Chains A and B, each alone.
Chain A
């Protein structure tokens, strides 16, 4: 176990800063959107040609710049700076960016997860969803979420978010007792005390450590070097992982994962089918998500 810890520490100390340099200074708060690093560079290139990255939404952006087809179309403008003429999309600042040096490997893992979802997770979840009502599945999710309070509590403390840490303790107390062992999120529904959802990846980000590079983890999906280190670190704080024998721990964690996924069946294919290039779309949407979390 000590050896594993050493590896994790070494990874975080040496690799993250090294790869963080590969990132563009994406921390600028005004930078948004879903554009990869490569695409962002292309957008900066002074060229009258539309950037390749803009192809993420080619038809849509063209539609946006169209003037109404109807000759009698009327247009009003309101707002502090409603633009008279819309500038080309290249002028819109690029968004969440991450280095992806292992893209070929990541694509293999992405393909594996995709097949896992469509061949196993989705059909199995459909059966599970028929057998188990949604309210029960939500209660199970709440139970496991409550158990994982130490992860959030410690990370709140590490980020000096003392109010949030207090909220986590309050939630643990209320949900474990009045919420029948955490099956009911009474802290949220009864007392309007929400969870901060902090993790080690966010803690590392809070102290200025960049994403590192993008990774797609088999079974788990999109991640980054920083967040993968975070997942490994958080595992030590999650009581779920201290169940013995290890076979039981894997079974419990597997069920938790499966149950959580059963509540979001359909969303994956929604985003996938909406994407021109699914791999890029999921990468950008993931980076967007983590960037938002960090900002909050």
Chain B
């Protein structure tokens, strides 16, 4: 009896090991995208908060002027394969605010730099109540393969300055 169980375990283990596959990881090209104009320098870096795939961006905006700049999150959009989607969610800003267009302007003082970790509302994932997880209920979803980026709207002296930054995300197999 014991031999039978042992043999079954061995067979199952061999089968399972035989099914072992290579893992995929996401890569970004370029790893960090930069852009800018006479008013500000912007830097967009896809982030992997856990695992092998990107799920958010770190956006850094450096104000080059002697006056304040304001990021308009209500008009800033997530870009996927060139198409504008919904806005971004970040810490302190709820999806409700993003959807209703009530996100307050984000001020960057003269010659200062602001950094935000953001993720697209369109890709937000919901962890149901029964799920035994250490994650929060609402979490960033994975950025899909393709061109992912941001159409950043910054207001300077009442005028909008739009900058588009995109990176190409693809999967690579590693063994």
Contact = CB atoms under 8 A, between A and B. Distances in A.
Nearest to A82: B164
A75 to B, nearest CB: 4
Interface string B136-168: 111101111111010101000011111111111
Interface string B81-111: 1111111000000111011110000000000
A95 B134 CA distance: 25
Most chain A beta-carbon neighbours within 10 Å: one of B19, B80, B128: B128
B163 A271 contact: no
B162 A30 contact: no
B86 A285 contact: no
Interface string A47-74: 0000000000101110111001110111
A211 interface: no
B59 to A, nearest CB: 13
B34 to A, nearest CB: 7
A284 to B, nearest CB: 9
A260 B129 contact: yes
A158 B16 contact: yes
B162 A68 contact: yes
Nearest to A34: B122
Contacts of A264: 136-137
A197 B51 CA distance: 11
A128 interface: no
B129 A64 contact: no
Given A267-B138, A295-B142, A79 B162 contact: no
A25 interface: no
A33 B122 contact: yes
B169 to A, nearest CB: 9
A227 to B, nearest CB: 9
B70 interface: no
Given A60-B99, A185-B134, A288-B123, A80 B87 contact: no
A260 B128 CA distance: 11
Interface residues of B, number: 77
B88 to A, nearest CB: 11
A207 B15 CA distance: 13
Contact of B164 (A77, A95, A144, A282): A77
A64 B77 contact: yes
A160 B19 contact: yes
A100 B148 CA distance: 30
A88 B84 CA distance: 9
B99 A79 contact: no
Given A30-B145, A285-B124, A292-B142, A70 B130 contact: no
Contacts of B138: 267, 270-271, 285
Nearest to B154: A74
Contacts of A136: none
Given A76-B35, A268-B137, A270-B94, A86 B162 contact: no
A14 to B, nearest CB: 23
Given A61-B84, A74-B161, A271-B138, A30 B37 contact: no
Given A87-B82, A197-B133, A257-B129, A274 B96 contact: yes
Contacts of A207: 19
Interface of B: 16-17, 19-21, 24, 29-30, 33-37, 50-53, 55, 74-75, 77, 79-87, 94-96, 98-101, 121-130, 132-139, 141-147, 149, 151, 153, 158-168, 171
Interface of A: 29-34, 57, 59-61, 63-65, 68-70, 72-83, 86-89, 91-93, 95, 141-142, 144-145, 148, 151, 157-158, 160, 162, 185, 194-195, 197, 199, 207, 217, 219-223, 231, 257, 260-261, 264, 267-271, 273-275, 282, 285-286, 288-289, 292, 295-296
27 contacts: A32-B80, A70-B159, A72-B159, A74-B162, A76-B162, A76-B164, A78-B33, A78-B164, A81-B147, A83-B79, A83-B83, A88-B83, A91-B83, A92-B80, A92-B85, A207-B19, A219-B129, A222-B126, A231-B130, A261-B129, A267-B137, A271-B126, A271-B137, A292-B53, A292-B55, A292-B125, A292-B142
